Amino acid sequence: MKGDYQDLVDEISALLGAPATLENRDFRLIAFGAHDSDDDAAMDPVRTRSILTRQSTAAVRSWFEGFGIARATGPVRIPAAPEAGVFRGRICLPVRYRGIVQGYVWLLDQEPGPGPQALAAAMEVAQRIGVLLAEEAKAGADLSREFLAVLTAGRGWQQDMAVAALRAALGAGGEDAHAVVCLAPWSGEAPPSVPGAAAVCVAPWWARGGPESGAAHEGGRGGARALAVLVRLRSTDTLTPAVNVASRLLPGGPGNGSGPGNGSGSGGRGPAGAPAGVPGPPVAGVADPVRALADLSTAWRQATAAARAAAAQPRLGPVAEWSGIGPYRMLADLASDPAHDPAARALLGPAHRELARTVEVFLDRAGQAGRAAAALGIHRQTLYYRLARVEQLTGLDLDEGEDRLLLHMALKAARLHG
């Protein structure tokens, strides 16, 4: 689909003799034409930000909408406004479908500018873009119920029926490879349009494991929910399309000017109160590709585990792939809070956070005291003293491999459990 948009944008650029950019109605960049001008003014701050960050700020969006572009049915000329970072005037071609605005095509205005016939031809291309955007949005929205049913159905005939319904809804696309993306936490409804997605839905955030564990309940853990996105892949060799979709959905990500991070223009979407294991801003997890739709529930568990890992370990995020989260692949399925283990209980309390950090760094570095002390910025004797205190608190012997394994797992699992 992205290639179709790029071809149409290039067609408009050729018709009007100027590079064009295409944004959806939330001002998220979809495609843009090449800039070959030596004129520095051709790339004013607003246009540069839109292309480099794939988004426009809420202030810029409000300023442009003040010219009535959301209601216009034909080209709108917008004058330059240096104080707003708009050094060159714009021509906006509203992209509509059945009277509803789907997005905007933007061009830099210049003298003498395109004539009426060229603009009319460009508007015809914009209408074709509107059809594509509307079809993409409708496809994803219409499949929300079927997609959610596959993710939440139990095993057996219920799962078989849900998969059959989704396969029928996807049509020929049901035979393609797919990846599942989890964005959490998420509040409000699913977005009306996610470019590149075959289906989207809002799903419960599983307390532990997946549907088979019996841990799912209405609203997920403490009412927390996540956004599930189904992304069609060209092959199972690359997850790039799914990672790109996840990146666009994250606050501040490329192409996201009104995602879950700020709630502006997003239909009430915004960060929910973060559930345990998902502190701070939203993060995303991406599952391994699957060929069979029956494997989507497994992919959803992978995606949620990757999202939890991204929240627990910032170096893995903000978009984490399940194949790259290491031990968190197993730890995410642990059925109990690690603080319930008698060996870890005292160490994981708030009074001993520095000791817990010290021994985690030590274990992360395979028990090499020199490397651990350097990473912590402390003297080696200080490290030895702290490790001795850890042994006293836990009753574990850090010279024993199994004791090290138990403690290391408890420390990593504690991150997932908040």
Per-chain mean pLDDT for the chain: 78
User: Quick check: 20 and 107 in contact, CB under 8 A?
Assistant: yes
Is there a single domain that holds both residue 249 and residue 156? yes
Which of 102, 165, 177, 108 is closest to 134 using CA atoms? Answer: 102
Is there a single domain that holds both residue 128 and residue 147? no
Burial class (CB in 10 A: 0-12, 13-18, 19+), 58: middle
Residue, of 346 and 104, whose pLDDT is higher:
104
Is there a single domain that holds both residue 190 and residue 321? yes
Is there a single domain that holds both residue 127 and residue 224? no
pLDDT at 190 over 90: no
> pLDDT at position 254, please?
43
What does the DSSP assignment read for 16-56? HTS-EEEEETT-BEEEE-------GGGS-HHHHHHHHHSB-
**Domain stop point among 296, 331, 366:** 331
- Could you tell me the pTM of the whole model? 0.54
User: Quick check: 112 and 101 in contact, CB under 8 A?
Assistant: no
Share of the chain above pLDDT 90, in %: 28
Is there a single domain that holds both residue 166 and residue 276? yes
- Please give the tally of structural domains in the chain: 3
Q: Convert the pLDDT of each residue in 319-348 to its tens digit.
A: 999 988 887 777 776 645 555 566 777 788
The helix/strand/coil state of 183 is strand
Is there a single domain that holds both residue 257 and residue 121? no
- Label residues 197-233 b or e (16+ Cβ within 10 Å = b): bbbbbbbbbbbbbbbeeeebeeebbeebbbbbbbbbb
> pLDDT at position 50, please?
53
Is there a single domain that holds both residue 158 and residue 282? yes
Domain span including residue 44: 2-134
Interatomic CA distance for residues 117 and 127, integer angstroms: 15
**Domain stop point among 86, 104, 134:** 134
Is there a single domain that holds both residue 183 and residue 321? yes
User: Quick check: 406 and 381 in contact, CB under 8 A?
Assistant: no
Return the CATH number at 126. 3.30.450.40
| Strands 283-286, 319-321: pairing kind | parallel
Is there a single domain that holds both residue 327 and residue 342? no
Q: Which residue has the tokens 């502190």?
A: 279
Is there a single domain that holds both residue 100 and residue 130? yes
Interatomic CA distance for residues 336 and 173, integer angstroms: 39
Is there a single domain that holds both residue 223 and residue 318? yes
**Domain stop point among 106, 134, 162:** 134
pLDDT at 156 over 90: no
Please, which residues have CB within 8 angstroms of residue 24's CB and are 6 or more apart in sequence? 30, 102, 103, 133, 193, 195
> pLDDT at position 82, please?
78
Q: Convert the pLDDT of each residue in 251-268 to its tens digit.
A: 765 434 333 333 322 333
Q: Convert the pLDDT of each residue in 45-74 to its tens digit.
A: 555 555 544 456 667 778 888 899 989 999
> pLDDT at position 48, please?
54
Is there a single domain that holds both residue 188 and residue 320? yes
